[in-house]
A and B are shown apart, each in its own frame.
Chain A
Amino acid sequence: MKDQMQDEVLLDVQDLTVRFNVGGGGLFGEAKYLYAVDNISFQIKRGETLAIVGESGSGKTTAALAVARLVEAYKGRVDLAGTDFLTLNDEELRQARAKMQFIFQDPYSSLNPRVRAEKIVREPLDNLDAVPESERQAIVDKLFEAVGLHPEQQRLFPHQFSGGQRQRIGIARALATQPDLIICDEPVSALDVAVQAQILNLLRKLQADFGLTFLFISHDLGVVQHMCDSIAVMYMGKVVEYADRLSLFNNPLHPYTVALLSAVPSVDKERRAATKRILIPGDPPDPLALPKGCRFANRCPVAQDRCKTEQPELNEVAPGHKVACHLVDERAVSPL
C-alpha cells in the first residue's frame, strides 16, 4: 500500500506552453509573442519534491504560475491527482485551488499589511465551503503551532514580524486547506542564511509529517540539493535536463547544467579541487528572437554546426535521466 502511495504521480504536466503578448496584434500589425515556457513536461510523485532551477528569466516562475492557473497557459495539460486543472470553470477552480497552494519569495510584499496574522492564515478556509466556521479557529491554532509561531502572535500585523516569521505565516496560510501540492517560488531567497536553515528544516518536517508534495523553485543549488528528489533544469523556456537528485548532481550531462554546477562556490575543499570551473561567456539569446537550433548554442563551449540549425529533443539517455543535447546519447557521458 505504502509503495503504491509513493509511486502515485500527483502532478502531471504535459507540453505546457506559456506565451505573452508583448506588442502588436489587432490594428497594430502582427502580434508579437514571447514564449516564456515552451513545451515542457514534468511529473511529481506524491510526497516528493521536484525542483526547477535555471537562470533568471528562464521561465521557472511562469511555469509555476501556469500550473496554478495564475497565468494562462497557451497550450498543455496540468493534471493534479486526476483533475485536469486547466479546463476547470471558475467555481470548480475556486474549490480546486484548495489542493494547490503557493508560497512566494518575498515575505514582505506577499502579505496584506492591514490584516492580522490569524486572518491571513484563516482566509483560504473562509474562501472555501469545506470547513464549518466553528472549526476554523482550531485549525488556525494548530497551524501556528506547526510552523513554530506563538498563539499570542496571531493578533499581530505582518510588519510586527521578522522576515523569517513572515515566511512562517505564508507557510501556515499555504497549509490551511490541506493542499496536496505546495508550490514554493524562491521561498528562502530573501532570508538570511540562519533563518533560511530554520525555514528549510520546517518545510522538510512538514513534508514528512503531512505527506506534502513540493514544486520547489530556487536559484540556489545548495538549497535545491538539500530539498529535492528530482530536478528540472530550464534554459530559455525549455527543460534541458531532467533527472533524480543524485544523477543530476553527480553526473550532470547537459553542458549548461555542467557549467551551472561548476559555478557554485563551495566551502568543500575537495569539491573545489575536483571541479573545473566552466565559464559560459556572453548572454542568453533575446527571448523574442530565439535561435532556430539549440538555445544554448551561442554560449556552449562544445557547440557544433548542427547545434545552430537543429533543436535538440529532450531524450531519455539513462533510466529517468533526460537531456536535450545533440552530443549526449545512451552512453550518458557529458561532452564537457
Chain B
Amino acid sequence: MTAPLLKVENLRIELTTRDGVAPVIDDLSFELGAGESISFVGESGCGKSMTALGIMGLLPEKIGRIAAGSILFEGEELSTASEKRMREIRGNDISMIFQEPMTSLNPVYTVGEQIAEVLRAHQNLSKSAAWSKATELLDAVRIPNAQRRVNDYPFQMSGGQRQRVMIAIALACEPKILIADEPTTALDVTVQAQIFDLLNDLKRQTGTAIIMITHDMGAVAEMAQRMIVMYAGRNAEQGPVENIIEHPRHPYSRGLISCVPHIMATLTEERHPLTEVAGIVPSLREFGKDQCLFASRCTMVSQKCLDKRPPEVAFADGQKSACWHAEAV
C-alpha cells in the first residue's frame, strides 16, 4: 500500500476564548489518498472549517493553535512547519475555496489580474504568459467568453461566476489537494450542479484530491467516496459514503440523514413528520468533556454515555463510529 497523500492523526486544535481554552478539534484522525474525495459533514459549529484551517495553517491568529497530533502531507509534518513553508504549501500543493466568493476576491482588481498574480507568484511566469494562462483557466472553469470576461471586476459577475473564479485561482497552482468549504451554499442549485460537475471533471483530469465541507448529505452522496461526520469537534462516524447512508452506525449520522426531506425517485401522496434531532450543537464550552457530547440530543443515551467518551468502533470497509451503542444503531 502506498502512503496516503494526507494523514491526520490524533489532531487536537485548541481555541482560546473568553471562557478559557477549548479543544475545537478533539482527537481527529483521517486519511486522504491521491485523487480521492472526502466530505466533512455536520451542523455549523462542529469544527469542519477549523479542520480545514488547521490543515492550511490558517488558524485564527493568537486564538487557535495545534495542541497535539500530526498532519502529514506526503510524509512532511505540517503541524510544526514554519509559516514560510506553509505559504509555499498553500501556493503550490493545497488550495482552499471559501463559502463567500465575494469576500475572498479583491474588488479593485480584475479577475484576470487576480488569477495572473497567483500564477506569477508561484510559477515564475512572465506577465503575458500568466495572462494567457489566466484566460485559459477561466475557460477551464467554464466562464463563457473568457477572453473578454478576464477583464471583468468581481462585481460584474454573478455569484456562481465568482465562485468559478475562486476555483480558477485555487487551481492556478495545480494543487494536489483542493479544500472546498461549503463552496455552493450561497448558490442556486442549478449553479451548484455546474460547480459540482466542474469539480468532478477537474478531479478526473488532474487527479486533484478534494476535501469538501458541506451540511448537505445529498451533496456528499454526489461528490465524495468517503465521509466524516463531525460532532462537537470530534469524529462521530467515518467511512464509505454509501455504507453510512445505507446503514449509519452513529445516532447523529442517522439523524442528519433522516431529518432532511429528500426528493425520492418517485414522490407519493404519503408524507410523514420529519425525524427530529432535538436540541442544538453544544457551545464550545462543552467541548472536550469526557462523555459523549451528543448525549443531550440522543434517543439511545445511557448512563455510560454520560460517564465516558465513547471509543471508535470499527465496522466493515473502514466504517468507524464513536458511539457506545454503535452495534445497536
Contact = CB atoms under 8 A, between A and B. Distances in A.
A264 B216 CA distance: 11
Contacts of A268: 262-265
Nearest to B275: A197
A275 B266 CA distance: 11
Interface size class of B (residues with CB under 8 A): 35 or more
A263 B189 contact: yes
Contacts of A274: 265
B219 interface: yes
Given A162-B280, A277-B193, A282-B144, 9 more contacts: A192-B215, A246-B269, A263-B193, A264-B218, A267-B262, A269-B242, A270-B265, A279-B193, A283-B161
Contact of B280 (A195, A200, A226): A195
A280 interface: yes
B160, B259, B297 interface centre (most CB from chain A within 10 Å):
B259
B43 A263 contact: no
A222 B44 contact: no
Interface string A249-275: 110000000011111111111111011
Contacts of A281: 142, 144, 194
A197 B144 contact: no
14 contacts: A162-B280, A193-B215, A193-B256, A194-B43, A194-B277, A222-B260, A264-B263, A265-B192, A265-B196, A265-B219, A266-B222, A267-B217, A279-B197, A281-B142
B264 A164 contact: no
Given A259-B190, A281-B194, A283-B161, A226 B221 contact: no
A173 interface: no
A223 interface: yes
Interface residues of A, number: 48
A193 B276 contact: no
A274 B144 CA distance: 30
Interface in B134-164: 142, 144, 158-161
Contacts of A192: 43-44, 215, 280-281
A198 B260 CA distance: 10
Given A192-B44, A263-B190, A272 B222 contact: yes
Nearest to A165: B280
B158 A225 contact: no
B44, B188, B256 interface centre (most CB from chain A within 10 Å):
B188
B94 to A, nearest CB: 25
A228 to B, nearest CB: 10
B245, B261, B273 interface centre (most CB from chain A within 10 Å):
B261
A205 B160 CA distance: 37
Nearest to B45: A192
A225 B263 contact: yes
Given A55-B190, A192-B44, A226 B256 contact: no
Contacts of A245: 267
A193, A246, A272 interface centre (most CB from chain B within 10 Å):
A193
B149 to A, nearest CB: 11
Interface in B78-137: none
Interface of A: 55-56, 162, 164, 192-198, 200-201, 204-205, 219, 221-223, 225-227, 245-246, 249-250, 259-272, 274-275, 277, 279-283
B260 A197 contact: yes
A201 to B, nearest CB: 5
Nearest to A271: B265
B148 to A, nearest CB: 14
Nearest to A284: B158
A225 B261 contact: yes
Contacts of B278: 198
Main secondary structure of the interface of B (DSSP, over half): loop
B274 interface: yes
Nearest to B159: A56
Nearest to B222: A265
B273 A204 contact: yes
Interface of B: 43-44, 142, 144, 158-161, 188-194, 196-197, 215-219, 221-223, 242, 245, 255-257, 259-269, 271, 273-278, 280-281, 297
Contacts of B281: 192
Contacts of A279: 190, 193-194, 197
B259 A249 contact: no
Given A192-B43, A219-B188, A219-B189, A271 B263 contact: yes
Nearest to A266: B218
Contacts of B189: 219, 221, 260, 263-265
Nearest to B255: A194
B144, B263, B267, B269 interface centre (most CB from chain A within 10 Å):
B263
A267 B277 contact: no
Contact of B276 (A197, A246, A263, A280): A197
A152 to B, nearest CB: 18
A267 B215 contact: no
Given A162-B280, A219-B188, A201 B274 contact: yes
A272 B265 CA distance: 8
Nearest to B43: A192
B277 A197 contact: yes
A263 B264 contact: no
Nearest to B217: A267
Contact of B274 (A197, A219, A275, A282): A197
Nearest to B158: A283
A250 B267 contact: yes
B261 A226 contact: yes
Contacts of B219: 265
Contacts of B264: 266, 268, 270-271
A281 B191 CA distance: 9
B218 A267 contact: yes
